[in-house]
Amino acid sequence: MHKKRSGRLTRRGFLRLSGGALAVLAGTGPFGLLSRPGYAQKTAARIVIVGAGAAGIALSARLRRALDGARITVIDRRETHLYQPGLTLVASGVWKPRQVESRTAAHLPRGVEWVRDMVAEYDPEANRVITAGGQRIEYDFLLVASGLQVNYSAIEGMSADLIGRHGIACVYDNPRHAAASWQMMSRFMEQGGVGLFTRPPGAIKCAGAPLKVAMLTEYRLREAGTRDRAELHYLPAGAGLFSQPDINQFLKEHLPARGFTIGWNHPLVAIDPGKKEATFRTPEGLRTMGYDFIHVVPPMSAPQAVVDSPLAWQDGSFGGWLEVDQHTLQHRRYPNVFGVGDVVGTPIGKTAASVKAQAPVAAANLVDVLADREPSRRYNGYTSCPLITEVGRAILVEFDYDLKMVPSFSFIDPTEQHWVPWVLKERMLQAAYNAMLRGRV
């Protein structure tokens, strides 16, 4: 475990430092050259970006500035941009849904063409994508930034329209689900009963979110004075709680100390909303548990169009995720293809913080390849998550491919709950995220 480093920093002192804190989080990064006007590379290349989420928008902004004359096309049907790191705050009644929604059009840089459609087929041999609407769009360079897919149907009896009914919550996907989850949590706070918190096998976006929802529910019950009326079970699919070992150890002690029973190796396989029963496939066989409140986290995968394409990993090592080199983010078989964000098949990641670290690398490496150079930038696996333990406190988890902690703040023990990561999460990270979308950090 890390040594305690919690200093005597006051809130006022921290807010005085906050300009510096934002700079640490937002960092000017090693690729400042890309953001400087006057260094744009002349080219007539056709660049297609699939997805206008966190990664797609950040890439379009960077490449728009780095390249002079390129034809940049972004493909995505979604008109509403979602600040997904705010969804746990919506699901716990801290934020309103409107705080996480904005217009995609407001983020896309001028001079970029936006095709409001979805890619249905990738044809990397012909350097072409085909959209659901039947458009064939050819490219010289392709950036895949299409996020991931939440697979509700992988759980028998589960569908998205059940969220907000029968005690079912799910923070993933959109603000409507998050707000409906807050309604279910509020009812549980009044009535108590059995609460189940699931975590599926495989990679998911923001692996901290299922834990945050569990801990925030426990906090809200205490706050409402009904904690003694509730029985809480945390049910991960495997034998761990978090991939980073220090944080895993912290949680193994922290959850039981807050009265959670941990049911190891409990992947959720079926739900019966009418009976309010959930079934898990445990090493001892199927186990059915009754519940009054359940946070369902479905298994996730790359979007189907990627899974079905030649761009997915072929040797099974990362399922159907995009086959990129984990450091350069260049496709391992198609050198004119790069990937950023949740869609990539790398050992860790799937956070907006990873996108912030990846986008400058992929953009700079694409410029290298375009100029006939070897990709020169490397992504070290940086990922981060302010793991909210209760309203007002969190731990700031930051680590890399080696699962080594890489804390931004020397004055906070990364395994100790503190108000600073909470203030970052609640007040400051959205501004850093928006700067990332503009390609400025």
Ligand X SMILES: Cc1cc2nc3c(=O)[nH]c(=O)nc-3n(C[C@H](O)[C@H](O)[C@H](O)COP(=O)(O)OP(=O)(O)OC[C@H]3O[C@@H](n4cnc5c(N)ncnc54)[C@H](O)[C@@H]3O)c2cc1C
Q: Which of 56, 200, 298, 299 binds ligand X (CB under 6 A)?
A: 56
Residue 54 binds ligand X, judged by CB under 6 A: yes
CA distance 291 to 286: 16
Rounded least distance, CB 288 to ligand X, Å: 27
H-type alpha helices, 83-172: 87-91, 104-107
Instruction: Report CA-CA distances (Å) from 126 to 46, 79, 140, 400.
Output: 14, 29, 10, 36
Residue 168 or 194: the one with the smaller Cβ distance to ligand X is: 168
Q: Answer positive or negative: Cα dihedral of 273, 277, 282, 284.
A: negative
Q: Which of 139, 152, 172, 338 binds ligand X (CB under 6 A)?
A: 172
Residues 199-228 that bind ligand X (CB under 6 A): 205-206, 209
H-type alpha helices, 108-244: 175-191, 209-224
In the stretch 308-347, what mask flags binding to ligand X with x, by CB under 6 A? ---------------------------------xxx----
Q: Which of 47, 66, 75, 241 binds ligand X (CB under 6 A)?
A: 75
Residues 246-285 that bind ligand X (CB under 6 A): none
Rounded least distance, CB 43 to ligand X, Å: 24
Which part of the chain contacts ligand X (CB under 6 A), choosing from 18-26, 73-81, 285-293, 318-326? 73-81
Q: Which of 72, 269, 355, 436 binds ligand X (CB under 6 A)?
A: 355
Q: In what order do the strands lie in the sheet with 141-144?
A: 113-115, 71-75, 46-50, 141-144, 337-339
Instruction: Report CA-CA distances (Å) from 314 to 75, 123, 145.
Output: 25, 15, 19
In the stretch 100-119, what mask flags binding to ligand X with x, by CB under 6 A? ------------------xx
Residue 194 or 344: the one with the smaller Cβ distance to ligand X is: 344
Facing residues of 287 across strands? 280
Q: Which of 21, 196, 294, 305 binds ligand X (CB under 6 A)?
A: 305
Residue 350 binds ligand X, judged by CB under 6 A: yes
Residue 171 binds ligand X, judged by CB under 6 A: yes
Which part of the chain contacts ligand X (CB under 6 A), choosing from 18-26, 71-79, 273-281, 326-334? 71-79
Cβ pair 309, 321 in contact under 8 A: no
Pairing assessment for the beta strands 149-150 and 300-301 based on DSSP bridges = antiparallel
258, amino acid identity = R
Residue 363 binds ligand X, judged by CB under 6 A: no
CA distance 115 to 109: 14
Q: Which of 147, 164, 167, 439 binds ligand X (CB under 6 A)?
A: 147
Pairing assessment for the beta strands 293-295 and 193-199 based on DSSP bridges = parallel
Rounded least distance, CB 427 to ligand X, Å: 14
241, amino acid identity = L
CA distance 299 to 265: 15
H-type alpha helices, 67-206: 87-91, 104-107, 175-191
Which part of the chain contacts ligand X (CB under 6 A), choosing from 15-23, 76-84, 230-238, 275-283? 76-84
Which part of the chain contacts ligand X (CB under 6 A), choosing from 19-27, 54-62, 161-169, 228-236? 54-62
Which part of the chain contacts ligand X (CB under 6 A), choosing from 45-53, 63-71, 151-159, 412-420? 45-53
Judging by beta carbons within 10 Å of its beta carbon (0-12, 13-18, 19+), is residue 103 exposed, middle or buried? exposed
Give the residue numbers marked as catalytic.
206, 385
Residue 236 or 341: the one with the smaller Cβ distance to ligand X is: 341
Residue 439 binds ligand X, judged by CB under 6 A: no
Pairing assessment for the beta strands 293-295 and 168-169 based on DSSP bridges = parallel
Cβ pair 149, 302 in contact under 8 A: yes
How many residues sit close enough to ligand X to count as binding (CB under 6 A)?
36
Q: Which of 303, 320, 407, 439 binds ligand X (CB under 6 A)?
A: 303
Residue nearest to ligand X (CB): 53
Instruction: Report CA-CA distances (Å) from 407 to 239, 400, 421.
Output: 26, 10, 11
283, amino acid identity = P
Residues that bind ligand X (CB under 6 A): 50-56, 75-76, 78, 84-85, 87-88, 118-119, 145-147, 171-172, 205-206, 209, 303, 305, 341-343, 350-353, 355, 385-386
